[in-house]
Amino acid sequence: GERPQLEAAAPGSAQHRLPPRPALPWLPLPAPGGRGCFQLGGGALTWQDGERRRSEAEAAAAVCAVAQVFILGLPSRIASVWFGPAEVSTACSVAVLGNQLGTAIGFLLPPVLVPNTPDDIDLMAHNISIMFYGTAIVSTLLFFLTGVVFEEKPKYPPSHSQAVLQAMPPEDYSYKQSIINLIKNVPFVLLLISYGIMTGTFYSVSTLLNQMIVTHYEGEEVNAGRIGLTLVVAGMVGSIICGLWLDYTKTYKQTTLIVYILSFIGMVVFTFTLDLGYLIVVFVTGGVLGFFMTGYLPLGFEFAVEITYPESEGTSSGLLNASAQIFGIVFTLVQGKLTTDYSPRAGNLFLCAWLFVGIILTALIKSDLRRHNVNSGIMNMDVKAVKQLTKTYCVTVSVLLCKDGAVWDAAIR
């Protein structure tokens, strides 16, 4: 299809249209480093057939886990670098949707590719081998596709905020100093904790969902997987809707707080309806829970970028993911213990209490939308550099358009 046009505004100037940006590959494609690690991990997992040791499988799984460091933080980074202010949140949500789509496939395909055949261990090993070989092949193809097609950034900045960042000399950037700046940013620290609580809760519920379902509905392992799939698919829809809403309203804190409250309500309802004996109710409440909890993911990424600008999007999203993993591990261990020793309700009430804490922390976040203010011309950062860059790419645009014989009717003041 046709490539979208970019709109960027210089400070004090009218909106003008830039030429089409280079073709951008599908957003959920991960960075070469991450996909390469995943490919190596998938390949190593194929070695465990026959007499291969268990340690080989564990090492391969560790490599796959390392790959997630490169993949999970991509949505906000790619969205900011490639998309303008009117579409950046939607782009981020689409990238998050890509990750969730992989999770949904993870719920759906393994039981189909590796059916339970306890009487034929050789057949089971063969099926597992096919699944891992398939993963390695797909990952390798995506790795090479990313290396060949994907470009680091567009030729022209899609927004004023990106123009400012690209005008800064690379040698001025310090990863260590960026981390220190983020830790000193109180609103970001509050978001870091509240994001970790929300996402950690989602991880814990997803991990222990089968155990919770089977406790109250014996022999319903298949439906437990379907409920998990419903939770993820509903979350994909929620992710897109939240991204579109952010681009339309720019109400980052208000939307984040409302979604947090609705997630808390959904968790409470899920907790007290899980043991009613009606699976259809669990399907509905699980879908509602996934809709809001997964919808929160792009909200957290985009809100973090807004309140930490001009710090790197990759750094802020990396810290958010680290927080999510830490809370996810702790919550899964504690909820699992409470579920085993007492009941699923006890474990879920533990998560509800933490979600309430997250609501309070979210309400305390100061909504300082730095990136939005720069794009709107409310706040100018390094204006001299921006004006020089703006003049440079505007002249380039006119030359390109004249070369193609097109008419440039946009007025630049």
Q: What is the pLDDT of residues 21-78, one digit of tens each?
A: 333 333 333 334 344 444 444 444 444 444 556 777 778 778 877 777 677 777 877 8
Confidence bin at 350 (pLDDT 50/70/90): very high
**Alpha-carbon span 97 to 237, nearest angstrom:** 8
Q: How many C-beta atoms lie closer than 10 Å to residue 254's C-beta?
A: 11
Rounded to whole angstroms, how far apart are CA atoms 300 and 83? 18
Q: Measured between alpha carbons, how far is residue 330 from residues 149, 209, 333, 383 in Å? A: 39, 16, 5, 45
For the chain, how are helix, strand and coil distributed in percent, rounded to 5? 75, 0, 25
Q: What 8-state DSSP symbol labels residue 46? A: G
Query: What are the two backbone dihedrals, phi and then psi, of residue 8, each rounded to the nearest 5 degrees?
Result: -135, 145
Q: Return d(Cα 259, Cα 80) in angstroms, integer.
A: 22
Supply the Cα-derived Rg of the chain in whole angstroms.
23
For residues 36 and 30, what is the distance between their CA atoms, to the nearest angstrom? 9
* pLDDT of res. 176: 80
Structure tokens at 29: 């494609």
Which tops the pLDDT comparison, 124 or 402? 124
Record the tokens describing residue 226, joined without a space: 């379907």
pLDDT score of 88: 79
Write down the domain spans for the chain.
Answer: 182-375
- What mean pLDDT do residues 402-408 have? 38
Residue pair 130/112 in contact (Cβ under 8 Å)? The answer is: no
Cα distance between residue 51 and residue 342, in whole Å = 40
pLDDT digits (tens, 9 = 90+) for 169-184: 666 667 788 888 888 8
Give the DSSP H/E element, type plus range, for residue 6.
strand 6-8
**Class of the CATH-defined domain 182-375:** mainly alpha
Q: At residue 115, does pLDDT exceed 70?
A: yes
311-344 burial, b at 16+ Cβ within 10 Å, e below that, comes to bbbbbbbbbbbebbbebbeebbeebeebbeeebb
pLDDT at 143: 85
Q: Which two tokens stand for residue 174?
A: 């310090």
Cα Dmax for the chain: 77
As a whole number of angstroms, the distance between CA 115 and CA 253 comes to 46
Q: Could you report the per-residue pLDDT of 65-105, keeping only the tens digit for each?
A: 777 767 777 787 788 788 877 787 788 888 887 777 877 77
Q: Averaging pLDDT over each range in 39-43, 86-90, 264-268, 307-311, which range is the top one? A: 264-268
pLDDT at 171: 63
7: helix, coil or strand?
strand
Task: Tell me the mean pLDDT in the region 335-347.
Answer: 92
Percent of the chain with pLDDT over 90: 23
The stretch 137-165 carries a mean pLDDT of: 81
Written as one letter, the residue type at 383 is V
The number of angstroms, rounded, from the C-alpha of 370 to the middle of its chain's C-alpha atoms is 21
Nearest to 22 by CA among 154, 135, 140: 154
- Per-residue tokens: 274: 């899980």
Is the sign of the CA dihedral 289, 235, 135, 332 positive or negative? Answer: negative
Does position 196 have pLDDT exceeding 50, yes or no?
yes
